[in-house]
Amino acid sequence: MQTRSFLKLAGLAIAQRILPPSLLAFWEQAAAATASGRKVIIVTFGGGVRSSETFSPDGLRNIPRLAGLRDSGFFYRNCMNDGVLSHFNSTASIVTGNWQRVDDFGFEPPASATLFEQYRKGLKAGPLDAWVIATNKSFASMGASGVRDFGLPFGANVVLPKQLLLEAINDIVKKPANADLSDRDAVQRRLESILQEGYEGVGWTIFKGGRQMDKHVRATLTPAMGEFINGPEAPTSGDELTFFITREVMREFAPRLLLVNFWDMDVAHWGAYSLYLQAITKTDRLTGMLWDEVRENPKYKDQTTILILPELGRDGDVNTANGFLNHRSGDPSCRNTWLLALGAGVAKGMTDKPIRHIDVAATAAAMLGVKAEGMAGTPAKEILV
């Protein structure tokens, strides 16, 4: 099965899971009606990254693509995370416009309505018009809250590429010895190396949301993933896998709202500074490739804004020689990051004026023409032109 075919089937399966069949045609028509409007892509440097290794004078060498793009967009030197310094809560704060204090490992959905729900409900957008594609394994419930009058019927499609890869290993590679695979052991080692690339390791837990993945979705995605990873663009890390899935979703569905979570930088927990720097450079490269897709894809060109920011920083070195390992101290290196806005409707410039993580959802909602409800964040006027 071709990559785009499996994504199309997967998307339809997810849509059918969250909507009654009688409403599916209505939502698809609504999605087509809004397909020509402004598009927004939020990219998180997940896992956390310090300004000292990115947009400081010494850090620019690690991010050649973003360093080169900074003058083409609007750059906030100070983007503040004043919430819980955990991965799920940090990203959930970005997509809800409210500081989140829920379970750190994704067992609970966000406590307030997400941007995806606000967008789909407010503009009657279809189920294939909002997506979350996340390397982080615990983001299964990131696409929708449990808030009354919102929730799953208005949520985003959530794809966890590493979960699909893990199932591909189990269902495809570990076949009987007579299976038609030229070198099963070599293929298995290569696939498992992708899972080992990040902090998680191979033996990672598929959390509650993943275990409840729709059976048809799993049956569609898993075998197709096996063919995809053996193709000419076979990824070598979790974030590369996330990029390729994101690009195909863009080409097949052209959703107006998309969250892309890169996360290999969390390898910093292993304590190897060189691996941390390599992951930063890889994320920079993949983000640059995503921007190239925006400029070259006629469905996105000249109508898309991309907002790029770390979900959090990492600890400073004031009290330890290896502060980059963790992200819980609450010091400025952990809370004060940056944001780069590129694309349609973005004025060129740079400012020291702080922007907050919770302002991102409010800003994206304004770009999409959504009258958001209950967000503590406020739109960033500097980039709303």
Taking only the tens place, the pLDDT of each residue in 163-219 is: 666 665 565 555 555 555 455 555 556 555 555 554 444 333 333 333 344 454 455
How far is it, in rounded angstroms, from Cα 264 to Cα 232?
22
Check residue 85 and give its pLDDT: 95
Number of neighbours of residue 18 by Cβ within 10 angstroms: 19
In a domain, 172, yes or no: no
Helix (H, G, I), strand (E, B) or coil at 232: coil
Q: Which element (helix H / strand E) includes 66?
A: helix 64-69
pTM for this predicted structure: 0.83
In a domain, 260, yes or no: yes
Q: What percent of the chain has pLDDT over 70?
A: 70
In a domain, 115, yes or no: yes
Residue 257: phi and psi, rounded to 5, are -135, 125
Cβ neighbours of residue 182 closer than 8 Å, sequence gap 6 or more: none
Q: Is the pLDDT of residue 33 over 60?
A: no
- Quote the DSSP letter at residue 193: H
In a domain, 230, yes or no: no
Q: Give the chain's domain count.
A: 1
Q: Name the nearest CA neighbour of 346 among 24, 121, 18, 71.
A: 71
In a domain, 201, yes or no: no
pLDDT in tens, 241-292: 889 889 888 988 899 999 999 999 999 988 899 999 999 999 999 999 999 9
pLDDT in tens, 335-372: 999 999 999 999 899 999 999 999 999 999 999 999 99
Q: How far is CA 380 from the centre of its chain?
A: 21
Supply the range of the domain harboring residue 378: 3-163+237-383
Residue 298: phi and psi, rounded to 5, are -60, -20
Q: Is the pLDDT of residue 119 over 60?
A: yes
We report the CATH number of the domain holding residue 325 as 3.40.720.10
In a domain, 379, yes or no: yes
Residue 356: phi and psi, rounded to 5, are -105, 155
In a domain, 38, yes or no: yes
The tokens for 46 are 């997940």
How far is it, in rounded angstroms, from Cα 166 to Cα 70?
36
Q: Which element (helix H / strand E) includes 117?
A: helix 115-123
In a domain, 177, yes or no: no
How far is it, in rounded angstroms, from Cα 189 to Cα 207?
24
Q: Are 75 and 309 in contact (CB under 8 A)?
A: no
How far is it, in rounded angstroms, from Cα 205 to Cα 264?
17
Reported as a pLDDT band with limits 50, 70 and 90, residue 318 is: confident
Q: Is the pLDDT of residue 45 over 80?
A: yes
Q: Name the nearest CA neighbour of 169 among 185, 188, 196, 183.
A: 188
Region of poorest pLDDT, from 8-12, 76-80, 303-307? 8-12
